[in-house]
Amino acid sequence: MGKRLIIRLFILISSVYACSSVTPHNDKHQLTSKPNVLFILADDLGINALNCYGNHLVESPNIDKLYSQGIHFTNAYSNDPTCAPSRASIMSGQYVPRHKVYRVANRFKKQKNTLNHMRYLPPENYKLQGSGTGLALDKITLAEAFQQNGYLTSAYGKWHLGKKALGIPHQGFDQGFEITGHYNFKTSPHQNNIDTTQYSADFITRKTKEFIAEAVKQHKPFFSYVPYYLVHKPLEPKPEYLKYFEEKYKDSIHISHKEIMVLAMIKSLDDNVGELINYLDKLGIEDNTIVVFTSDNGHYKTDNLIFTRPYRGYKGQTYEGGIRVPLIFRWTHHIPNASVSKEPVIHVDFYPTLLGLTGCKKPINYILDGEDLTPVLLHPGTKTKRNALVWEYTNYAHYNPKKKKFKSEWVNVIQKDGFKMTEVVEDGSYYLFNLNNDPYETKEVSKKYPQVMKRLKIRLEQWKKDTGYEPPRNNPAFIGKLKVESVKQ
């Protein structure tokens, strides 16, 4: 072999090695070109509201395909069982006590009977005069973090984190506005010359595609946040899908008509997800785009609970049915196909994870409560490092004088090593479930595990200190002593 040939061979091998050392496959995630991010957020879609997650009443072929092309999580959680607090955690990367979007609304203030039977007043939602409740402008949103790393950003869909000064145009998005409702949808800021009688999901998809095309034309990486209003109420399916499912399940006695309406709405959600995914392929950017699909919280209550069973509870409750959500990540050639993780993960993990996957820098001097899941995504089977998940849910509502209990009240919840403990703030009581062998929360076991209870209480108190948790305040409107019933077995 001649000397020149040896030198050329050495150069070739060196160049191949050099290229491989900067591909996203290595653990340092050094990227020659930053990948795009398409973040799809469904509204009120329970973990068991998709065919791929085991509900064969549902038709969701496009999401099922996405499920098979990436990694899905079996123990993914929202940071809250309702919309606004969970979305604030996604956007801020912080737990509820830090971002201070505690509740969708203060229902207890409008329910005199509820207010009069509350021992304590919960913390106040963050508000900005003239813009209402929402995410404070001093929070560095996930979109702002991507902007700081050279990304173009967009958000078309449900924001739910404030109007006017707190709205989408002021929270790190280059393009976008809020869209709420299905037919006859509303926009914020108000948009002129839009046909709002069309189905909002179709409109959101079209605007998102226009943004993606523009980013590709400019040769810039993009972060596209797509928070569909589906499948939130009102139940407004497309007529053709409603007719289809009515015919399909006309002889079923286990599915109500309202649930058939939800099935039709899920079908529309799936259509739009499929259209976005196919558009990535059409533009030739599928391989360089990270796709995330999840929901803001668990499913709302339906007649036969077909979208939450076998889990206990539903939207508005901290039982598993109210906080477990579907979660899928796809990044072609990087995240293994048809992989699965059983690790407990939560909304605040998205912020550090997406920055980690894309090789973006984190904001300086800004607290992120989540964990970067990049090792779990690229190497399924990897364990997370954190030792607990925690929830603070302060939604007092609907006091029942006959039962002498609230339909919803202030609870703090911690999950660690498969044990899930709930603190009932009203009377200082606690209850415990062992999710390791009872994921459907059928047996309260606090007396069986006194040492577990002790450890969880200590860890919960530490979390309160770390996050700036505001303790209960005495309620001057409280009229008497409240008897709180124990958790039903």
- 111-166 pLDDT, tens digit each: 999 999 999 999 999 999 999 999 999 999 999 999 999 999 999 999 999 999 99
pLDDT band at 173 (very low <50, low <70, confident <90, very high): very high
Q: Output the pLDDT for position 267.
A: 98
Check residues 190 and 482 and name the one with the higher pLDDT.
190
Query: Does 333 score more than 90 pLDDT?
Result: yes
Is residue 10 pLDDT above 70, yes or no? Answer: no
In the chain, domain spans? 34-385, 390-474
Question: For a pLDDT cut of 90, what percent of the chain falls above it?
Answer: 90
Give the pLDDT confidence score for residue 33 in this predicted structure.
79
**pLDDT of amino acid 8:** 37
The predicted model gives 478-486 an average pLDDT of 60
User: What mean pLDDT, rounded, does the chain reach?
Assistant: 92
Q: What is the pLDDT of residues 37-77, one digit of tens each?
A: 999 999 999 999 999 999 999 999 999 999 999 999 999 99
pLDDT at residue number 62: 98
Confidence of residue 29 (pLDDT cuts 50, 70, 90): very low
CATH class label, 34-385: alpha beta
Band of residue 484 on the pLDDT scale cut at 50, 70, 90: very low
At 481 the pLDDT is 60
- Does position 192 have pLDDT exceeding 80, yes or no? yes
Q: Is the pLDDT of residue 470 over 90?
A: yes
In this prediction, residue 480 has a pLDDT band, given cuts at 50, 70 and 90, of: confident
What pLDDT does 25 receive?
38
Q: In this predicted structure, what is the pLDDT of residue 391?
A: 98
Q: What is the mean pLDDT of residues 299-310?
A: 96
* CATH code assigned to 390-474: 3.30.1120.10
State yes or no: pLDDT of 268 exceeds 70. Answer: yes
**pLDDT value at 97 more than 50:** yes
Is residue 281 pLDDT above 60, yes or no? Answer: yes
Name the pTM for this structure: 0.90
Which residues, at least 6 apart from 379, have a Cβ–Cβ distance to it below 8 Å?
A: none
pLDDT at 473 over 90: yes
